[in-house]
Amino acid sequence: MSTVQNKQQGKQQGRIGKATSRVDGKLKVTGQARYAAEFPAEDLLYGVVVSSGIARGSISSIDTARALAVPGVIHVLTHENRPSLPWFDRSYQDDDSPSGSPFRPLYDASIIFSGQPVALVVASSFEAARHASALVDIRYKADKHQTDLDAERDAAYAPKQGKDGFEPPPKPRGDADAALKKAEINVLADYATPVEHHNPMEMHATTVLRDVDGNLTIYDKTQGVLNTQQYVTGVFGLKQEQVRVRSPFVGGAFGSGLRPQYQLFLAVMAAQELKRSVRVVLTRQQMFSFGHRPATRHQIALGADKSGKLLAIKHQTVSETSRFEDYIEVVVNWSGSAYQCDNVTLDYKVAALDVYTPLDMRAPGATLGVYVLESAMDELAHATGVDPLALRILNYAEQDQNTGKPFSSKELKACYEQGAAKFGWDKRNPAPRSMRRGKTLVGWGMATGFWDAMQQPASAKAVLSVDGKLQVSSATADIGTGTYTAMTIIAADVLGLAIEDVNFTLGDSSLPQAPLEGGSWTVSSVGSAVKMACEAIRDELLSIARAMPDSPLAGASAEDVEWTEGRVQRVGQPAASLEIADIMRSKGLHSIEHAVDQKPESKQKKYTMHTHSAVFVEVEVDEDFGTVAVKRVVSAIAGGRVINPKAARSQIIGGVVWGIGMALHEETMADHAMGRFMNHSLAEYHIPVNADIHDIDVIFVEEHDDIVNPLGAKGMGEIGIVGVAAAIGNAVFHATGKRVRELPITLDKVI
């Protein structure tokens, strides 16, 4: 594959920035889109996982006789009869694993978390496997366990920077303790957030198709087919050409598909052991047995003068991790870069519990840390008598004090201005309990959102046929974010083609490499590669066109022409044009193909690159019952260039809805005496429903940034949720005069 330098795009009829319906929408609504558990196979076997009933200890005995006696049952895999694998020497880690020793299913008799897979029943039908799974008789020796973060808080430790690229808190600047003592106004508060689980609609599943030569085609629910492929080859000692992974559609993931989950391992192990095709699908309850947003405990202190000017910030966080890996997030760093303050101390520690390792969940770290910071800023606004919006503008940061770097772009003030105008913030009565509507208290709150704008190396291939059809491909994913459509728009924009004439392929490990889909970096990374591949085709076409006999484009530069409707023409001169098909035929070309590898440009290292938002919320609180309803939300986003406003708006709305859930509903409750999650179903794990969601307005603030990537796009997947919970909590305080510092804000805490 060749590396192609980015060139100026030239003038053309643009597709970018126009609201475009999903190109994959019809397949999804008509049921033609197939997910990991829906691909057919001849002679397919079905595996059902048996889960541990204790949180810590060991297996004393496993009796599989009754299960094996069920008609149709082929095998029951346990730690006693599983095959030996290269992975069991603990040498292999996947691309998204934190530092430590990854969990290895069926390795030995040890139990290290509740719900741990301890057996796989394989049968010729799902029904037989499910029935037999209940007949596996397992006896345990239970050891003392600890799943309560508060009980282990004093034993928390500072994690080391590992291979996952964790950015530790910056060193203290100034003297925060001394500044707090001198400050005229102090805010000292403890905040707490609970465990949350991802709960995508599609449960994790793997279908392994094994051919007669032992080659595997794997359909997996994943946010990165290449990561799955590397995992399987590394764990099972296979060659890359023996394993092909496909994941054309994903029914939501939110981070749960970044790491290979244990159903993948068990399905491949069974397929290899039995030399058959195997499918393993986790139950909804088992979706609570791997990964989650970690519980956190925070102490935050803000010091300011009477005007509200920040003099000191201290933010200390303890987060949970497992005993076998150090899961770490960037939680407190935001408190050092969000606002101008010369005295800052940040501290982040983790406490090991008898749980599965937590897992990235939409806007990991920022969702938690910014919630605490923005809640404390509202407390400071109340203490100083300064309007919450005015307080943030007063302490506006013109550069990142954590690093001393300027921002590549920052239109946060425009977010404040446009969001406040749309919301009507100037009509807010600042006194708590001062606004009413009938029998309900009305509260208005706001918060700022922050997220990293990142770019990763990625590759893409583009093939233009003489019939005017463009095929573009990259091994990225679409977890419901609209990747298919965004890449189609980018490709069509470069060559001035109709959306219908472009086909983008993803979710296949045989395609050009791409990073995991996460972190809001897919458009910036894969989109930049798609742009460059299509530009290489465009440049070749223009070169041919200039050399054609009597060419109307002779001597034309890239800036002199525009690409539209399958033609290239001099700018503003439709008569001076050539059909793309005629250009290709002049050279006898049936197709033009270019593959590119792109990397972030070195100039990015000189800047801090962030996406910003301002969230304004109105709540109604029933004074008698303490129930909270979010009636209005305005979210103003500065996210660089917006590729598809229609999909981007949906991304932000989805993030806002999740923020409402975080603030008012979501909590995975644990029985610490048993060490297990109790509300492990969608019936008892509370999330917002239609009746909970009212008016949500999204504003995209114009922002130009030529540093972040060639497209100038920052990504929208994560920023939508950041700051929403804080804005709601702040609104609840404004409505009631009561500050709830422990999420979720349930009626018992309000009254």
In this structure, is residue 264 part of a structural domain? Answer: no
User: Of 354, 205, 208, which Cα lies nearest the Cα of 287?
Assistant: 205
3-state secondary structure of 161: coil
> Is the same domain home to 745 and 663?
yes
Q: Considering 196, 379, 666, 718, which one is annotated as catalytic?
A: 718
Distance CA 708, CA 452 (A): 10
User: Of 426, 389, 404, which Cα lies nearest the Cα of 342?
Assistant: 404
Q: Within a 10 A sphere around the Cβ of 11, how many other Cβ atoms?
A: 17
In this structure, is residue 413 part of a structural domain? Answer: yes
What DSSP designation does 290 have?
A: S
In this structure, is residue 353 part of a structural domain? Answer: no
Q: Is beta strand 344-353 parallel, antiparallel or unpaired with respect to 310-322?
A: parallel
Helical pair 225-236 and 262-274, crossing angle rounded to 10 deg: 50
**Number of domains within the chain:** 2
In this structure, is residue 398 part of a structural domain? Answer: yes
In this structure, is residue 559 part of a structural domain? Answer: yes
Distance CA 513, CA 498 (A): 26
> Is the same domain home to 524 and 537?
yes
DSSP result, 375-405? HHHHHHHHHHT--HHHHHHHTB-SEETTTTE
Q: How far is CA 318 from the centre of its chain?
A: 22
Please name the helix (run of DSSP H) or strand (run of DSSP E) that holds residue 654, with its range, or none.
helix 645-664
Q: Which domain holds residue 489?
A: 25-31+456-599
Per-residue pLDDT, 88: 73
Neighbouring residues of 585: CB distance < 8 A, sequence distance ≥ 6: 466
Please answer whether residues 451 and 521 qualify as being in contact, where contact means their C-beta atoms are separated by less than 8 angstroms.
Answer: no
Give strand ranges (E) for 32-166: 45-51, 57-63, 73-77, 99-100, 110-111, 117-123, 137-142
> Is the same domain home to 460 and 588?
yes
Please answer whether residues 534 and 491 qualify as being in contact, where contact means their C-beta atoms are separated by less than 8 angstroms.
Answer: yes
DSSP result, 423-458? HTGGG---STT--EETTEEEEEEEEEEEEE-----E
In this structure, is residue 168 part of a structural domain? Answer: no
| Catalytic status, residue 667 | no
Phi-psi category of residue 498: left, alpha or beta, with phi > 0 → left and psi -120 to 50 → alpha: beta
Go through 344-357 and write b for each residue having 16 or more CB atoms within 10 A of its CB, e for each that does not: bbbbbbbbbbbbbb
> Is the same domain home to 407 and 514?
no
> Is the same domain home to 478 and 509?
yes
Angle of CA points 238, 275, 75, to nearest 5°: 120
Integer angstrom CA distances of residue 284 from 51, 197, 204: 13, 11, 9
Please answer whether residues 263 and 205 qualify as being in contact, where contact means their C-beta atoms are separated by less than 8 angstroms.
Answer: yes
CB-side neighbour CA atoms (13 Å) of 131:
13
In the numeric block, the tokens 């100039």 are attached to 603
Distance CA 282, CA 605 (A): 42
Question: In the numeric block, which tokens belong to residue 498?
Answer: 């109709």
Residues of the chain with pLDDT under 50: 1-13
Phi, psi dihedrals of residue 705, rounded to the nearest 5°: -145, 110
**Residue that terminates a domain, selected from 567, 599, 631:** 599
User: Of 670, 99, 94, which Cα lies nearest the Cα of 355?
Assistant: 670
> Is the same domain home to 593 and 614?
no
3-state secondary structure 560-586: HEEEECCEEEECCEEEEEEEHHHHHHH
> Is the same domain home to 478 and 590?
yes
> Is the same domain home to 465 and 564?
yes
In the numeric block, the tokens 């990964």 are attached to 291
User: Of 542, 587, 582, 584, which Cα lies nearest the Cα of 563?
Assistant: 542
Q: How far is CA 202 from the centre of its chain?
A: 16
User: Of 116, 270, 206, 18, which Cα lies nearest the Cα of 675?
Assistant: 116
What DSSP designation does 169 have?
A: P
> Is the same domain home to 572 and 662?
no
Read off the CATH number of the domain in which 635 is found. 3.30.365.10
In this structure, is residue 137 part of a structural domain? Answer: no
> Is the same domain home to 592 and 615?
no
Question: In the numeric block, which tokens belong to residue 164?
Answer: 């996952």
Question: In the numeric block, which tokens belong to residue 181?
Answer: 């003592």
Neighbouring residues of 236: CB distance < 8 A, sequence distance ≥ 6: 85, 86, 87, 268, 269, 272
Distance CA 511, CA 456 (A): 17
Neighbouring residues of 11: CB distance < 8 A, sequence distance ≥ 6: 559, 561, 562, 571
What's the N-to-C CA distance of the chain in angstroms? 64
Per the omega criterion (within 30 degrees of 0), is the bond before 364 cis?
no
Distance CA 278, CA 271 (A): 6
| Cross-strand bridge partners of residue 626 | none
Per-residue pLDDT, 8: 33
User: Of 529, 509, 510, which Cα lies nearest the Cα of 462?
Assistant: 529
Distance CA 38, CA 679 (A): 28
In this structure, is residue 579 part of a structural domain? Answer: yes
**Residue that terminates a domain, selected from 599, 620, 645:** 599
> Is the same domain home to 481 and 445?
no
Per-residue pLDDT, 7: 32
Question: In the numeric block, which tokens belong to residue 83?
Answer: 């095959």
**Residue that terminates a domain, selected from 583, 599, 615:** 599
What DSSP designation does 559 have?
A: G
What DSSP designation does 556 have?
A: -
> Is the same domain home to 461 and 450?
no
